[in-house]
Amino acid sequence: MSMQLTIGWLYPKLMSTYGDRGNVICLQRRCQWRDLDVSILALDQESSIASFQEFDLIVGGGAQDRQQEIVMRDLQGEKAQIIKEKLTSGIPGVFTCGSPQLLGKYYEPALGQKIEGLGILDLVTKHPGINVPRCIGNVAFDIVAPTLKADLEEMLGEVPTVVGFENHGGRTYLGDVSPLGKVVSGYGNNGEDGYEGAFYQNAIATYAHGPLLPKNPFLADWLIIKAIEHKYQEKISLNPLDDYLADNGRKAMLKRMLNQ
Ligand code: GLN
């Protein structure tokens, strides 16, 4: 039986800064290279409530404050409830920069009113104002979320340091949610507490663009495995792919960051 995955893509036109659409392409290609039947489903203002029920894996990219606010307002209510239920049930997701901010309790922009978040992740984000420098640059972090760390150890025999690029004004502070990682180089959530991102059930939330998945393809495979295992309720492993270029790029970037 050929296995099928539907990847939900949140607001492709409004949320795709810094090449974040690369995460969707990476997941799609890595499924196709394993002969998995994959389809991409745009989830946005035009989508029906019912189509929000259809994804097996969900991807959200970054956005500027204005676009982010439009998305946050559109998602409130039933759409948010569906995403919450699906993530809570263990459906995997990857959310970058602006999307984790909107999954949190609220976002305080530099200008204008505080915006209600979806309340799926116990975190808050505050923008300190347009005169305070943004958190910009390459970022590297070690994964600390216990279940993800254990899964990667089992999959790869090691837990690679993740690399990416961050550019955010908002500073995120975690409540009762696990951090995704501990910063090795860069700012991470707020440049103060050393945490990077958040991890909830099987959802990765991070400030790392890159895009994240092409630079760290082991995370793409972990997401695909989780999506299939959740949908088909059976344990699987994926045929390995030649990730020589990505691995070497990741290591070279890390070396350069640590030598700075
Ligand atoms: N609007 C958010 C901020 O500046 C997110 C930016 C982004 O997604 N790159 O903090």
Tell me how far CA of residue 92 lies from CA of 79, 202, 235, in angstroms. Answer: 17, 5, 15
Helix residue spans in 89-161 (DSSP H) = 98-103, 146-156
Was 134 annotated as part of a binding site? yes
Q: Please give the number of the atom of ligand 1 that sits closest to the Cα of 64.
A: 1
How many angstroms separate the CA atoms of 31 and 248, rounded?
22
Q: Please give the number of the atom of ligand 1 that sits closest to the Cα of 96.
A: 8
* Ligand 1 centroid, distance to 169 Cα (angstroms): 6
Residues 6+ apart with CB under 8 A from 218: 152, 155, 156, 160, 243
Contact 23, 56 (CB under 8 A): no
Q: What is the pLDDT of residue 13?
A: 96
Using CB distances shorter than 6 Å, the residues near ligand 1 are 17, 62-65, 68, 97-98, 101, 127, 167-170
Task: List per-block mean pLDDT (blocks of 10 residues) for the chain, which spans 260 residues.
Answer: 93 95 98 98 97 98 92 94 97 97 95 91 96 97 98 97 98 98 98 98 97 98 98 96 97 93
Q: What is the pLDDT of residue 25?
A: 98
How many angstroms separate the CA atoms of 37 and 67, rounded?
32
Q: What does the DSSP 8-state code read for residue 47?
A: S
CATH pick for 4-258 out of 3.40.640.10, 3.60.110.10, 3.40.50.880, 3.40.50.300: 3.40.50.880
What is the ipTM for the molecules in this complex? Answer: 0.95
Q: Which residue is it, tokens 């999959």?
A: 155
* Ligand 1 centroid, distance to 182 Cα (angstroms): 20
Residues 6+ apart with CB under 8 A from 61: 10, 12, 15, 16, 17, 20, 21, 23, 96, 97, 98, 99
How many angstroms separate the CA atoms of 187 and 98, rounded?
16
DSSP string over 166-222: EEES-EEEESSSB-SEEEEES-TTTSSS-EE-EEETTEEEES-BS-HHHHSHHHHHH
Bridge partner residues of 143 (DSSP): 181
pTM above 0.95, yes or no: yes
* Ligand 1 centroid, distance to 36 Cα (angstroms): 33
